[in-house]
Amino acid sequence: MQIIKSNDKNWEEGQGYNKKILFDDIDKNNVIVQEVKIKPGETAKTHFHKIQTEIFYFLNHNGYWAINGEKKEFEIGDILIIEPMDEHSVVNKTDKDYLYLAFKYNYDPKDIYWK
């Protein structure tokens, strides 16, 4: 058994977003779990991955996504699966943090291509 406490992890700055790495099993299975925060008024710029698949679980609904040119909004508890080559960006349209969990497999930190 493992217990992971989000409050014990530190936020890391990204391009328009912040993340906490909650679980990292890259050496064995290329899996990583992150808590992601898009601050008010911020945008995680358009990008895609060639190899990895991302599964997102929404903790609130303070923003929207652009996925392959389509605007999508999600409710608390919704799950989104971004497959390789799906272009996506995230926009926080509110004055509160936009929070979700990201489960990534076939993860490679170099597998990100910004548009």
Domain definitions of the chain by residue range = 12-110
Model confidence pLDDT, tens digit, residues 27-73: 778 999 999 999 999 999 999 999 999 999 999 999 999 999 999 99
Question: Percentage of the chain with pLDDT > 90?
Answer: 89
Q: Determine the Cα–Cα distance for residues 75 and 58; give it in Å rounded to an integer.
A: 7
Topology of domain 12-110 in CATH is Jelly Rolls (2.60.120)
